[in-house]
Structure 1
Amino acid sequence: MLFIQPLFDPLKNMQGPGGSLLQNHFREFMDPSISPDTHEDSVKLYGKTFRFHGFGRHDYRLMSLDLRAISYILNSSVYEKPWQTRSLLSRLLGKGIFAMEGEEHKVLRKLIAPAFSTQSVKAMTPIFYQKAEELRDRWEDITSRATSQEVSFTPTAPTPTSSTNSCVIDVSHWISRATFDVIGLAGFDYHFRSLQDESEEVYLAYRNMFGVADKGPGLKGLVQIYFPFIEKVFPDEGSRVTQESLRVIHNAGKQLVHNKKVVILAEKADAKDIKEKDILSLLIKSNLSSDSSKRLSDGELLDQLSTFLFAGSDSTSLTIAWCIHLLSLHPDIQKRLRDELLSLPVNPVSDASQASTEIIDALPFLDYVVRETLRLCPSVHGTIRVATQDDTIPISSPIVLRNGTVVQAGEEIPIRKGSYVHIPIEGLNMSADIWGEDARTFNPDRWSSLPVSARVPSHPGIANLMTFSFGPHACPGWKFSILETKIFLATLLPHFAFEPAEDIRKFNAILTRPYVYDQFEKGSRLPLKVTKYTS
């Protein structure tokens, strides 16, 4: 592994950074505080497709910012998520859609599709408005009490400022609570009520479990992937918290799936259409109407709950939080968006009908701001695939090999079975070759006239935006996430103005989260100065 296999690995001929025997380049390419510079410098030095060291000089990894190569990899059945990645995801979320490959993934994808159709997502609009308005009311109460000093502040509570009707709020935490409530109702018709009180048992179980996951697996966690018995023989605090959380979630989920099936089977006997429109009900309905040989068991249905909850709450909450953060840094753009929202002839916030959804979708600058946030702040920094057989990958930009040979555009580079391919989602979203020289600048107006290189859609309706990936493993809930984000912004921005309160940086856990510079030990936070807006 250390000396012989690398001699026959075709990636050894690729250009890329060097290093000592056991040196890796993970931080350079995966730490969002430095990875944009690394990606940009690597493309200049080596071309759009290059290799770097994984767990040492023997472990060649391929990375590409060439959309032709990425499109081929993400659409080819040759490339799968590594079993190690799927094992980690399964341990946390069960055997959900993110941990599946091949025919199994294809069957589940087909079952899930009706739950995320345009019609189904629009049916969830009242829930989006309900929770957005509830969050607005909580913030109005907090800012009012902070001003009158009627609330006792703790280190984690909102902090009053000298401004009238203003205080510093951890917007990331509060938005996460709101989106958790949204997916509880929209996903399973389940009331977490976390915006009111963070005490519900299942909510706390998920939060505790995701809190452990955000710390990363560590060395012991990586070893446990290969030797699972270690966790049972030598459990640590993280393992105990995860197992207890999974027990609570499993018991509640099992009862929830059972109750839903009883209701749906009873309604099916009485009417052609199932009344329940939450994601779980639609999934059960689709499951019951499919080929019996391809139906999911109750346990497999249960595994999807955690996947939907994680992807549907935290990823969307981060998009909303990052968007508000970017608006706080660009007050001119914040004002322009607020003016657009305040100029509406019909107030979409007070009218949760389908008409209001169409009004929200028709707002051009709101759409630009959301897309630009998704581009600069994808919730997932990158993804990984492994070649399941020897293959060749087409490229659209020439590269020079270490021996001086030039691989021209339209030709292919070889890769051997077992090689890992890293796909830099944020790197592609910030590529100057795709988005222009100001690719790392927050500029919503770019979406009014995208460069030709960014117009060819990799995902329906989102141009060459990598945030939701594309191909068979593209995020099925992208419409859900975008509409929810727009409704939260349309509800909050007319009532509040946002200003920076701290130096905010990014870090990678499972998702890309914010933290306060020099306060990483306090965990993920995004404090902003929130002021009640008056025209």
Structure 2
Amino acid sequence: MFPSVASTLSLSLLKACSVVLLILVARGLVLLINMLVVAPMSDPLKKIQGPDGSLLQNHFREVMDPSISPNTHEKWVKSFGKTFRFHGFGRHDFRLLSVDFCVMSHILNSPIYEKPWQTRSLLTNLFGRGIFAMEGAEHKALRKLIAPAFSTQSIKTMTPIFFQKAEELRDKWEVFASSPTATLVEDAKIPPLPAPPYFPSPSFAEAVIDIAHWFSLATFDVIGLAGFDYHFHALQCESEEVYLAYRNMFRIADKGPKLRDLVQLYFPIIEKIFPNEATRITNESQRVISEAGQQLIQSKKLAILAEKASASEIKEKDILSLLIKSNLSADISGRLSDADLLSQLSTFLFAGSDSTSLAMSWCIHLLSLHPDIQDRLRSELNSLSPCASNSSSTSGYSAPAHAEAIDGLPFLDAVVRETLRLCPPVHGTMRVATRDDNIPVSSPIVLRNGTIIQPGETIRLRKGSYVHIPIEALNFSTDIWGEDARKFNPDRWSSLPHPARVPSHPGLANLMTFSFGPHACPGWKFSMLQTKIFLATLIPHFVFEPAADIQKFNAILTRPYVCDQFEFGARLPVKIGRVNL
């Protein structure tokens, strides 16, 4: 009797499991058919022209690989117009891309469009709930909270730090430039650099240094001091515990998301059950950062509360202190937790150090390729008062006043802007529509059936559609910047074409590098001024020449590498020689 009952129960359980399995399979098939067949048929983007592909073909490399994307964008614009669609994860996945500023302005200013949840999850996993991972009302409140830390007045108080670290870097390079034929690399396994087919070297002592590495150290030190009054001493010795924790974590971010990382977004339990080396490094780095960060936040919070209680002026001017002060002044319901404060610092450290160091590196690289422009810039910098080329943060001159003089140099400003236009640290970004929308266009669109959407009319985009924001493509657009848009020409900034003069971002015209709208980079003034001060400190002392053929690759940021030596990672070697002052 009992075996019979057990058999009956087992049979019933098996049938139940089979039914559940059949339901799951059927539901999966329905979802798959809807995704691959039904949904694409009703997608409005299906009507728009664009490159075609096979069933599972994507166009991600054509869109996001900086080694081919400029030619791809130019080719597609000529073939399909300024606004078109391409394939994401297969022929069924239509995505919008446009170099029509009217389209981009609408998307970047509209609350309908947000960063995809996948992007926000990746950023949160690395840096916590920083400002770049937030959306909606939460993002708006945080922007308001951090605004005082990036005001013009606040940045002025940070200029002594900019000068201090620029001079420290200059002194390092002076030693290198005094060692003829020195080749400075960080890894003995890296092969020697190929001889570049460029102009001959002048007759001065020279060395080959990886400027990307050295600028990274310097900007890390800057953001440590300016951001939260913390001494990394990276320029002197790369051994400080918190610095190494950040750097190890950022090295993982530099590699970009792998297939496993994307799968883990949908199945987070994989990371907990089967942690890999990247997970272990990230977790350990975050532990070190969290412990040090909590101590720092608590000590600064106590100092600020004590100064408020005594009604004395708050002396701390670093970003963390200003952020804590702003946070304590906010309504209790809108205040950030200590963990969220730390997330902002990690976000600022990555965005503020690596993006700025890349801007400086690309600028020196471009100047090395254009010695005439380099000479013009050096002459302008030498036209400042003597302390312009022999400055010292302890020499008694006013750092803010000197910074203001440097900031006002027209050709330096043009060189920096032109570098940021040609080499934006962020190649592009993405948005997703949170509901159906009609997007206005300023350039005609010819649909696949021959219908023309005229300027002033709209195209329809349905909820869930992805939009790629092609920062580089907009910075390279000949319709905006002229026929020489892909050439390094700082003089263009003295007589910009009309399309480039209509500002989308206050103070930056139509330069897309810092984006615009509610999600524009809050630290763009900080980055611009820091870059100018470093260049003003270094260029009067050194002459730069190319040392290798340099290419770009994309991780989270656009980084340099030596052609045919990609496996050795991001590097930007440059010949450096002393200027006879």
Pairs within 5 Å for 1:150-189:
154=188, 164-189=204-229
What corresponds to 1:63 in structure 2?
97
Residue aligned with 1:347, SS: helix
Contact 1:394–1:412 (CA under 8 A) maintained in structure 2: yes
**2:506 partner letter:** P
User: In the TM superposition, what whole-angstrom CA distance separates every residue of 1:471-517 from its partner, at most 9, and x where no partner exists?
Assistant: 00000000000000000000000111000000000000000000000
Q: 1:10 aligns with which of 36, 41, 44?
A: 44
1:385 aligns with 2:431: yes
What corresponds to 1:395 in structure 2?
441
Over 3 Å counting, the alpha-carbon distance change for 1:303 and 1:527 in structure 2 is same
What corresponds to 2:118 in structure 1?
84
Pairs within 5 Å for 1:290-369:
290-348=330-388, 349-350=391-392, 351-369=397-415
Aligned residues: 535
Q: For 1:149 and 1:118, how far apart are their aligned partners in 2?
A: 40
What corresponds to 2:8 in structure 1?
none
Over 3 Å counting, the alpha-carbon distance change for 1:204 and 1:153 in structure 2 is closer
Over 3 Å counting, the alpha-carbon distance change for 1:72 and 1:177 in structure 2 is same
User: In the TM superposition, what whole-angstrom CA distance separates every residue of 1:197-216 from its partner, at most 9, and x where no partner exists?
Assistant: 00011111111111111112
Contact 2:176–2:182 (CA under 8 A) maintained in structure 1: no
The TM-score, its normalising length taken from structure 2, stands at: 0.90
User: In the TM superposition, what whole-angstrom CA distance separates every residue of 1:329-369 from its partner, at most 9, and x where no partner exists?
Assistant: 00000000001111213423344522201210111100000
What corresponds to 1:118 in structure 2?
152
Q: 1:243 aligns with which of 279, 283, 292?
A: 283
Contact 2:514–2:521 (CA under 8 A) maintained in structure 1: yes
Contact 1:145–1:151 (CA under 8 A) maintained in structure 2: no
Q: For 2:453 and 2:475, how far apart are their aligned partners in 1?
A: 25
State the shift of 1:147 in Å: 5.7
Contact 2:179–2:207 (CA under 8 A) maintained in structure 1: no
State the shift of 1:299 in Å: 1.0
User: In the TM superposition, what whole-angstrom CA distance separates every residue of 1:431-476 from its partner, at most 9, and x where no partner exists?
Assistant: 0000000000000000001000100111111100000000000000
Q: For 1:490 and 1:148, how far apart are their aligned partners in 2?
A: 25
Q: For 1:8 and 1:309, how far apart are their aligned partners in 2?
A: 44
Residue aligned with 1:404, SS: coil
Q: For 2:545 and 2:206, how far apart are their aligned partners in 1?
A: 10
Pairs within 5 Å for 1:89-100:
89-100=123-134
Q: 2:173 aligns with which of 133, 139, 145?
A: 139
Over 3 Å counting, the alpha-carbon distance change for 1:254 and 1:146 in structure 2 is farther
Q: For 1:151 and 1:400, how far apart are their aligned partners in 2?
A: 53
Q: For 1:428 and 1:17, how far apart are their aligned partners in 2?
A: 19
Q: For 1:249 and 1:354, how far apart are their aligned partners in 2?
A: 32
Q: 1:502 aligns with which of 543, 548, 564?
A: 548
Over 3 Å counting, the alpha-carbon distance change for 1:95 and 1:342 in structure 2 is same
What corresponds to 2:142 in structure 1?
108
> Max radius of gyration: which structure?
2
Residue aligned with 1:397, SS: coil
Q: For 2:87 and 2:529, how far apart are their aligned partners in 1?
A: 40
Q: For 1:123 and 1:419, how far apart are their aligned partners in 2?
A: 44
Q: For 2:177 and 2:360, how far apart are their aligned partners in 1?
A: 20
Residue aligned with 1:2, SS: helix
What corresponds to 2:24 in structure 1?
none
User: In the TM superposition, what whole-angstrom CA distance separates every residue of 1:5-29 from its partner, at most 9, and x where no partner exists?
Assistant: 1011100001000000000000001
What corresponds to 1:231 in structure 2?
271
**1:141 partner letter:** V
What corresponds to 1:456 in structure 2?
502
Contact 2:253–2:556 (CA under 8 A) maintained in structure 1: yes
1:192 aligns with 2:232: yes
User: In the TM superposition, what whole-angstrom CA distance separates every residue of 1:287-324 from its partner, at most 9, and x where no partner exists?
Assistant: 00111111111111111110010011000000000000
The TM-score, its normalising length taken from structure 1, stands at: 0.97
Contact 1:158–1:167 (CA under 8 A) maintained in structure 2: no
What corresponds to 2:262 in structure 1?
222
1:128 aligns with 2:128: no
Structure 1 runs not aligned, ≥5 long: none
1:44 aligns with 2:78: yes
Q: For 2:180 and 2:115, how far apart are their aligned partners in 1?
A: 48
Q: For 1:153 and 1:85, how far apart are their aligned partners in 2?
A: 33
Structure 2 runs not aligned, ≥5 long: 1-34, 196-200
Q: For 2:184 and 2:246, how far apart are their aligned partners in 1?
A: 32
**1:440 partner letter:** R
Q: For 1:226 and 1:377, how far apart are their aligned partners in 2?
A: 33
User: In the TM superposition, what whole-angstrom CA distance separates every residue of 1:181-237 from its partner, at most 9, and x where no partner exists?
Assistant: 000000000000000000011111111111111112111110001111111111111
What is the alpha-carbon root mean square deviation over aligned residues? 1.9
Q: 1:468 aligns with which of 514, 523, 526?
A: 514
1:439 aligns with 2:506: no
Over 3 Å counting, the alpha-carbon distance change for 1:183 and 1:153 in structure 2 is closer
What corresponds to 1:522 in structure 2?
568
Over 3 Å counting, the alpha-carbon distance change for 1:499 and 1:402 in structure 2 is same
* Bigger mean CA offset, 220-229 vs 349-358: 349-358
Q: For 1:215 and 1:152, how far apart are their aligned partners in 2?
A: 19
* Bigger mean CA offset, 251-260 vs 446-455: 251-260
**2:328 partner letter:** L
Over 3 Å counting, the alpha-carbon distance change for 1:398 and 1:153 in structure 2 is closer
Q: For 2:54 and 2:289, how far apart are their aligned partners in 1?
A: 45
Contact 1:158–1:169 (CA under 8 A) maintained in structure 2: no
1:252 aligns with 2:292: yes
